[in-house]
Amino acid sequence: MSIESLPASKSHSWLEKWLPIIVLAVVGGSLPLWGDEFFGTVGTRICVYWMLCAGLNLVVGYAGQIAIGWVSLLTVGAYTASALVAGRITPEIHPYLALIVAAIFGAVSGLIVGLPALRLRTFYFAMTTLGFSTIVTQIALAWRSATGGGVGIPGPLLPEPFDTPWGLYFFCLAIAIICTWITCNIASSRYGRSLIAVRDAEVAAEAVGIYKPGLLVNVFLLSGALAGIAGGLFASLQSYITPEAFSFDLSVLFFIAILIGGRGSILGPLIGTAVLTVLPDFAAPLVQWSTFVYAVLLLAIVLLVPGGIADLLDFKNRRPLDQHREIRPRPELLPEIMGTEPSKSLMTLKGIVLAFGGVRAVDGVDIEIRGGEVHGLIGPNGSGKTTTLNAISGYYAPQEGEVIVDGTNITRLGAHQRANFRIARTFQTPRIVGEESVLENVMIGGTNDGQGTFVEAMLALPRHRRDEARLHRDAMTALALVGLERLADVRADRLQHSELRFVEIARAVMLRPRFLLLDEPAAGLSVDEIRRLGALISAIKAQGTGVLLVEHHADLIFEICDRVTVLNLGKVLASGEPEEVRTHREVVNAYLGA
């Protein structure tokens, strides 16, 4: 059976991807047919807010950063465009050019306000965005020559034919559609998947080679640029701006619109933005209470429906799954992903020492992992097996010793750089992005081989499309390899534990690993599944990959390992061929038992 005949619902996912744009274009485009000029103004406002929210959605909904002070970027964009068009700093500038400058200033501000997120977590980052927005308002008040201070300045008037209310509306709608298109492209690209991976499974993201700072810098630049344009058009819409127009309530609206919409969705936040913008306009008594209503909505979302609107619309994942599923790996598919030339590498661990306080968890361990061999790493609990794996993955920097791959010392490299050496791994507790489909989880494994840049992904240029096609094909093959292709479209958190173990292996295989580190892959598997796992590992080994297998199932170890190292209290107790180790007296005493 070839991969093409597998049930991958291509047309379905196409609709899913472009639905936000279709909704926006159809509803927005037909607005003049069913609404009066008042509707037009509200519609313009929705479009302007959505430009900002579309970018913020990548920061909040995808990257999971709690950015609550985003109104500051709207302020920057609005004052930049207004001051430039009015000629308060420079000679008067054409409105279109001013919008572009506003986007640039917005992008730079987005970077400044976002940078702390690379080091700080949640509450701290939330506070810095709040602090930033306070400061921007204060500067706007104080820098009178440019901003008019508390008196304010007129917003830019766009040239014909966009100088009428309906003209401005269509201009904003067009830009809002472009913004949606860009964020849809990013969201469905490897960058979008990486963002979610960083959010929900940061450790696994590093292991597949995702570099969080680089990724976030791109996203903050993009989000800032969109907010800058939104700011410029906001000033046009208001026709006159003062610092009071940029109240904290607006920040709250943006932030809550995304959470109500749901994390990791675009249609949801789009609906959320529209609803929250319209709410005070069409329920006059609510105006005073709008922020209170937002606050209550936020609390309700957090406590009752953490998935937001997107979750309510996700009908696909409510269909029950087949209860009696069997995992049937097909190791013969391996060459289709891994390629056919088995190149053998060598990894050497020399005298690795890793101490936590006074405890020497790993105390001078030497291991040699050869390509085309399975190396078992066994020992009692707490003997340092996982810690050794973590030293190879770069999660811990050893105090002494070296990790050398084919002559290159990688001991001091960052965790995300290990993927360049084609070192893949799985985890003792599967690190999976539960909210993404199984297929997307596996595609994350191939992130490191993508060629297209962030900008190419944004604009869906050919090189990026080739990346995606290849990732999709390889991931389907990898899923067929581990026998889970029928679950490709299912949300990963609906799978059983044993299936997640195989998803992790499929993800690791996507890296075409020269070394594969498996941390207790058989834990929680049935006897049949363990047997199939053994066959799969043997097939991976036959591709020339060096496998380091941490396991407690002695049967599996002695059946498939070419070499076994036994750890005890952080030291190597014995090492050699399985038969030697099995009969080693100290090993029997310390671990195996008679």
Partner 1 sequence: MIESILSYGIALGAVYALIGITYNVMYSSSRVFSFTAGTMGMLGGVLGSVFISTMGMPVIVGFLLTVVAGAVLGLLIELIAARPVLKSLDQHLYVLSTLAVSLAMLQLTAIYFSTDAVPFPRVVPFDTEFFDQKFWLPILACAVTVIGLEYLSRRTLIGRAFLATAEDNYAARALGLPEQGLRMLSFALAGVIGVVAGFAAGQMMFASLANGPLLNFYGFVPVALGGMGSNRGALIGGLLLGLFQQMANYFFGGIFASVAVFVVFIVVLLARPEGLAGAATPRRV
Q: Which of 15, 26, 299, 321 binds partner 1 (CB under 8 A)?
A: 299
In angstroms, give the least distance from the CB of 524 to partner 1. 18
* Strands 374-378 and 546-550, bridge-based pairing: parallel
Total residues contacting partner 1 by CB under 8 A comes to 45
Q: Which residues, 122 to 161, sit near partner 1 by CB under 8 A? A: 122-124, 126-128, 130-132, 134-135, 138-139, 142
Q: Which of 109, 273, 386, 575 binds partner 1 (CB under 8 A)?
A: 386
Residue 119 or 318 having the CB closest to partner 1: 119
Q: Per-residue x/- mask for partner 1, residues 61 to 90, rule CB under 8 A? A: -----x-x----------------------
In angstroms, give the least distance from the CB of 51 to partner 1. 24
CB within 8 Å of 292: residues ≥ 6 apart: none
Q: How far apart are CA 386 and CA 390, in angstroms?
A: 6
Q: Which of 1, 151, 284, 303 binds partner 1 (CB under 8 A)?
A: 303
In angstroms, give the least distance from the CB of 44 to partner 1. 26
H helical segments located in 483-513: 497-509
In angstroms, give the least distance from the CB of 353 to partner 1. 17
In angstroms, give the least distance from the CB of 472 to partner 1. 29
In angstroms, give the least distance from the CB of 387 to partner 1. 9
Q: Residue 286 interacts with partner 1 (CB under 8 A)? A: no
Side-by-side strand order, sheet with 346-356: 359-370, 346-356, 400-405, 408-409
In angstroms, give the least distance from the CB of 381 to partner 1. 16
Q: Which residues, 390 to 409, sit near partner 1 by CB under 8 A? A: 390, 393, 395-396
Q: How far apart are CA 409 and CA 363, in angstroms?
A: 19
In angstroms, give the least distance from the CB of 253 to partner 1. 11
CB atoms within 10 A of CB 463: 13
Q: Three-state SS for 279?
A: helix
Q: Of 32-40, 111-119, 327-335, 538-546, which part binds partner 1 (CB under 8 A)?
A: 111-119
Which residue in 487, 437, 439 sits closest to 325, CA to CA?
487
Residue 119 or 585 having the CB closest to partner 1: 119
Q: Which of 145, 288, 340, 381 binds partner 1 (CB under 8 A)?
A: 288
Q: Which of 356, 466, 497, 555 binds partner 1 (CB under 8 A)?
A: 356
Residue indicated by tokens 């010392």: 409
In angstroms, give the least distance from the CB of 125 to partner 1. 9
Cα atoms found within 13 Å of the Cα of residue 372, Cβ hemisphere only:
7
Q: Residue 358 interacts with partner 1 (CB under 8 A)? A: no
Token digits of residue 96: 């279109």
Q: Three-state SS for 298?
A: helix
Do residues 54 and 256 make contact, with C-beta atoms less than 8 angstroms apart?
A: no
In angstroms, give the least distance from the CB of 390 to partner 1. 5
Token digits of residue 362: 């790993």
Cα atoms found within 13 Å of the Cα of residue 569, Cβ hemisphere only:
2
Q: Residue 259 interacts with partner 1 (CB under 8 A)? A: yes
Q: How far apart are CA 95 and CA 85, in angstroms?
A: 6
Q: Residue 549 interacts with partner 1 (CB under 8 A)? A: no
Q: Of 286-294, 432-440, 528-536, 568-576, which part binds partner 1 (CB under 8 A)?
A: 286-294
Token digits of residue 228: 């800058």
CA distances from 477 to 399, 442, 449, 483 (A): 40, 10, 16, 9
CB within 8 Å of 486: residues ≥ 6 apart: 7, 325
Q: Residue 282 interacts with partner 1 (CB under 8 A)? A: no
Q: State the amino acid at position 7 in one-letter form.
A: P
Q: How far apart are CA 233 and CA 211, in angstroms?
A: 34
CA distances from 445 to 127, 369, 563 (A): 34, 22, 27
DSSP code for 253? H
| Cα angle for residues 52, 86, 226 (degrees, 5° grid) | 15
Q: Which of 150, 161, 214, 306 binds partner 1 (CB under 8 A)?
A: 306
Q: Which residues, 421 to 460, sit near partner 1 by CB under 8 A? A: 427
In angstroms, give the least distance from the CB of 120 to partner 1. 6
Per-position DSSP letters for 74-86, written without gaps between them: HHHHHHHHHHHHH
Which residue in 257, 260, 255, 252 sits closest to 311, CA to CA?
260
Residue 138 or 343 having the CB closest to partner 1: 138
Residue 120 or 178 having the CB closest to partner 1: 120
H helical segments located in 160-211: 165-187, 190-200, 202-207
Do residues 11 and 17 make contact, with C-beta atoms less than 8 angstroms apart?
A: no
Token digits of residue 343: 């190149």
Residue 191 or 396 having the CB closest to partner 1: 396
Which contiguous run of DSSP H or E holds residue 546? strand 546-550
In angstroms, give the least distance from the CB of 251 to partner 1. 10
Q: Of 71-79, 270-278, 284-292, 483-491, which part binds partner 1 (CB under 8 A)?
A: 284-292
Q: Residue 289 interacts with partner 1 (CB under 8 A)? A: yes
Q: Residue 298 interacts with partner 1 (CB under 8 A)? A: yes
Q: Which of 35, 116, 154, 335 binds partner 1 (CB under 8 A)?
A: 116
Q: Per-residue x/- mask for partner 1, residues 194 to 233, rule CB under 8 A? A: ---------x------------------------------
Residue 96 or 395 having the CB closest to partner 1: 395
Q: How far apart are CA 484 and CA 462, in angstroms?
A: 30
Q: Of 150-158, 172-180, 289-297, 523-531, which part binds partner 1 (CB under 8 A)?
A: 289-297
| Contact footprint for partner 1 (CB under 8 A) | 66, 68, 115-116, 119-124, 126-128, 130-132, 134-135, 138-139, 142, 203, 248, 252, 259, 288-289, 291-292, 294-296, 298-299, 301-303, 306, 356, 386, 390, 393, 395-396, 427
